[in-house]
Amino acid sequence: QKEVEQDPGPLSVPEGAIVSLNCTYSNSAFQYFMWYRQYSRKGPELLMYTYSSGNKEDGRFTAQVDKSSKYISLFIRDSQPSDSATYLCAMSLSGNTGKLIFGQGTTLQVKP
Amino acid sequence: SAVISQKPSRDICQRGTSLTIQCQVDSQVTMMFWYRQQPGQSLTLIATANQGSEATYESGFVIDKFPISRPNLTFSTLTVSNMSPEDSSIYLCSVELLSSYNEQFFGPGTRLTVL
């Protein structure tokens, strides 16, 4: 079993839809949770960073962490064709600076 | 964030040869890392590049295969040695900035194909 599970998709939605991307994990010691966006042939770009449980909002993006369920989510409101990319969740242990454990990534396509 | 550059951006190499990838950052960094992203797979940490000392390798990665240097705070190299087609992958460096604890920023990656 992988430490971090993420449905690879692809996920196809119409422009303007609300997108929900999710990851589950097995290690309850994870404390830091991130979402990266990766466009084709580019490096991952840090989108959201949260510590422990709770919600964090940044523009059209909302990240949620539910540590009791070992489940994290990224919501994208009013999705745009420019949001079409692969979204990677990542997490790390408290006090173990450096090593990120990534999910496989979900490919999202937003159709005009 | 910071500007992170990698050279080369891509290369096609013959089996048995070696390739050195460079990573340069324009900001003060605390930590530098090297990751591998195999086709259809997620990112896997190869090692932490330590300034002035040997890199710290993750399980499954060894120094003879992936020697790493970090001569100063903002520059590091990763060499992929004695390559085989299984080494075909994207290699990415990432950094933690002095100004952003535990947030990692990635370079554009080096796409390597081994024939």
C-alpha angle B5-B6-B7 in degrees, rounded to nearest 5: 130
Pick from B9, B43, B46 the residue to mutate for testing the A interface (most A CBs within 10 Å): B43
Determine the 3-state secondary structure of A112 from DSSP: coil
pLDDT band at B49 (very low <50, low <70, confident <90, very high): very high
CA distance B13 to A102: 28
Nearest chain B residue to A2 by CA: give it. Answer: B42
**pLDDT on residue A70:** 94
pLDDT band at B52 (very low <50, low <70, confident <90, very high): confident
Q: Summarize the confidence of residues B97-114 as an average pLDDT.
A: 89
Which residue has tokens 């589950």? A24
pLDDT tens digits along A31-80: 999 999 999 989 999 999 998 888 999 999 999 999 999 999 999 999 99
Residue A94 has pLDDT above 60, yes or no: yes
Taking any CB pair shorter than 8 Å as contact, residues of chain B touching chain A are 1, 4, 31, 33, 41-45, 48, 58, 92, 96, 101-109, 111
Lowest mean pLDDT among B24-33, B38-47, B51-60, B93-102: B93-102
Residue A1 has pLDDT above 80, yes or no: no
DSSP single-letter state for residue B26: S
**pLDDT on residue A53:** 83
CB contact under 8 A, A46 and B1: yes
Which residue among A32, A45, A104 sits closest to B42, beta carbon to beta carbon?
A: A104
Chain A, chain B: beta-carbon pairs less than 8 Å apart: 53
Which residue among B31, B41, B106 sits closest to A98, beta carbon to beta carbon?
A: B31
Beta bridge partners of A71: A24, A66
Which residues in chain A belong to E strands, given as ranges? 4-5, 11-14, 19-25, 30-38, 45-51, 54-58, 61-66, 71-76, 85-93, 101-102, 106-111
> For a pLDDT cut of 70, what percent of chain B falls above it?
99
Q: Summarize the confidence of residues A6-18 as an average pLDDT.
A: 94
A74 near A58, Cβ under 8 Å?
no
**pLDDT on residue A48:** 93
Nearest chain A residue to B89 by CA: give it. Answer: A41
Residue A96 has pLDDT above 60, yes or no: no
pLDDT band at B28 (very low <50, low <70, confident <90, very high): confident
Q: Summarize the confidence of residues A82-107 as an average pLDDT.
A: 88
- State the nearest Cα–Cα gap between B101 and chain A, in angstroms: 8
Residue B24 has pLDDT above 80, yes or no: yes
Lowest mean pLDDT among A55-69, B24-38, B74-88, B96-110: B96-110
CA distance A37 to A46: 7
Which residue has tokens 């081994």? B114
